[in-house]
Structure formats: structure tokens, C-alpha cells
Amino acid sequence: MNISQVARRAGLPAKTIRYYEEIGLVAPARAANGYRAFSERDLHKLTFLSRARALGFRVEDCRALLGLWEDESRASAEVKAIAQAHLDEIARKIADLRDMQATLADLVSRCAGDDRPDCPILRAMEPAGRSSSRQ
């Protein structure tokens, strides 16, 4: 398969596939003309990477997971540890987003949203020790 064919089947842009090749996640054979020749195994790896990235795994985690996927003597505990660390990071990000949402909702509720220049939203973003000259 050429790069456009494998891209379509794996659901990845060709640019991403080239990047994965550049960083050593995939290593397709080269035809006599120098073009990439992707095998079914390459397609499976790219599909695996596409799914892992869709779950938000970082490239280095994808590299580790891909290595474990290819290692039939792997311990599932290693896979679980990577996934658990990622899950923990997602939980932290969700908590941060909820905090941001609560803060912004409070600021929006305190803003009159009228023709006056006073705005608690802008005041909250001012550097400490600086008061707005528009008050």
C-alpha cells in the first residue's frame, strides 16, 4: 500500500504517518522507486496508534503501548499502569476545567453586562497591585 491508501484505511493524515515514521513508530519498506510500501502489519500499527491517540495518550505512551502490544510475553500490569497514569491525568484535567468553569461562572454572574465600564471579569484578570484606571 502507498501512503494515501494506508492513510485512508488507518484514518490518519499522511502527514501524521510521515511524522510517525520520522520518530520511529513505524518503518515501512521502501520500493525500488523510493516510495513507502506499507504492509498489513504497518496498517495494524497505524490503526493502533490512531486509536491510542484518540484516547489522548501522549506519543511516548503510544510508543510504550505499541511495544507492549507487539510483545506477546508482556505483563498486562505494565499496560494497566500506563493507562491508569493517563486516566489520573485526565481526572486532574477535568478537575481543573471544573474549577475554571466555576470561577468563570461566578465572574459572569457578578458582571452587570451593561453600559458601565466596571467589570469584575476584567478586574479578576488584572495583575496584582494594579487597579484599573477606568473605575
Question: What is the residue extent of each domain of the chain?
Answer: 1-55, 75-135
CA 78 – CA 74 distance, rounded (Å) = 8
Residue 85 or 131, more confident: 85
pLDDT on residue 130: 65
Span of 40-49, 89-98, 124-133 with lowest mean pLDDT = 124-133
Strand partners, 29: 37
CA 63 – CA 114 distance, rounded (Å) = 53
Name the residue type at position 67: G
Using DSSP's 3-state secondary structure scheme, residue 75 falls into coil
pLDDT on residue 129: 72
Per-residue pLDDT of 23-76, as tens digits, reads: 999 999 998 999 999 999 999 999 999 999 999 999 999 999 999 999 999 999
CA 78 – CA 119 distance, rounded (Å) = 51
pLDDT on residue 131: 60
% of the chain beyond a pLDDT of 90 = 93
Chain centroid to CA 48? 15
Q: Which helix (H) or strand (E) holds 20?
A: helix 14-22
How long is the chain? 135
Q: Is the pLDDT of residue 14 over 70?
A: yes
Q: How many CA atoms lie within 13 A of 66 on its CB side?
A: 24
Pair 28, 21: CB distance under 8 Å: yes
pLDDT on residue 23: 97
CATH of 1-55, one of 1.10.1660.10, 3.40.50.1820, 3.20.20.30, 2.30.30.90: 1.10.1660.10
133 pLDDT tier (thresholds 50, 70, 90) = low
Please report, to the nearest 10 degrees, the dihedral formed by the alpha carbons of residues 5, 9, 12, 13 taken in order: 20
Residue 130 or 95, more confident: 95
pLDDT on residue 57: 98
Cell of 134: 477606568
Q: Is the pLDDT of residue 4 over 70?
A: yes
